[in-house]
Amino acid sequence: MNSNGNGDFLKYFINILIKNEDELISYEVASEEVDRFKDMLADAHKKDIKRFVCFDTVTNMSIAVSIRDIQLVHFLWEKASTNKLECEDFYMENAVNFYFRNQPRPYSSHFDEYGDAAFLYTLLDSLEFDEFGFYSFVDIDGEQVSLRLDELTLVEFNSKILNEGFDEIHNDMEE
């Protein structure tokens, strides 16, 4: 556990969705392991990258996970079950649903910045991806989510979110 600068002690988790698993697999880790894992994902598209991401948990387990089988990684700084929004309709309406190969249910998340959602939509609409390429964004809780793009089969966006995101991008370009 580390302090967030406000004197609060935080627990860090790496939640991983891998091929042929129905649920996210969650590991509590030190903050340094989160940073190291993020760096590995950022380099995953390179040809000479390691085949496995290895990290240690706070419960004295050492984990090795195949990069080829990772579909999504959600980096949390507190337990995932602590997502609290006052308006559940807003929460459901603004969720983005990510469907992955061989997964029975979508993974739902919320973008902190709608411009990131619009950028992802544009990326999906216009490019082919490097094998093992990941796209990362910050969710509304300030936690990083990393998606393996070549494992996505369908993404459901709320059009309102995309329109607001495109407006954000356009305004940023004008400044």
Q: What is the mean pLDDT of the chain?
A: 81
Predicted confidence at residue 132, as pLDDT, reads: 64
Q: Which residue has the higher pLDDT, 11 or 131?
A: 11
Give the closest residue to 119 by CA, choosing from 157, 153, 151, 162: 162
Angle made by CA atoms 158, 164, 166, in degrees to the nearest 5: 105
- Which pLDDT value is given to residue 75? 94
| Assessment of whether the complete model's pTM goes beyond 0.85 | no
Pairwise CA distance, residues 39 & 53, whole Å = 10
pLDDT (tens digit per residue) in 77-127: 875 444 444 445 555 667 888 989 888 888 999 999 999 998 988 887 776
Q: Which of the four pLDDT bands, split at 50, 70 and 90, describes residue 15?
A: very high
**Helix axes of 159-174 and 114-126: crossing angle, nearest 10 degrees:** 100
46-57 pLDDT, tens digit each: 766 667 787 889
Cα–Cα dist 75/57, whole Å: 13
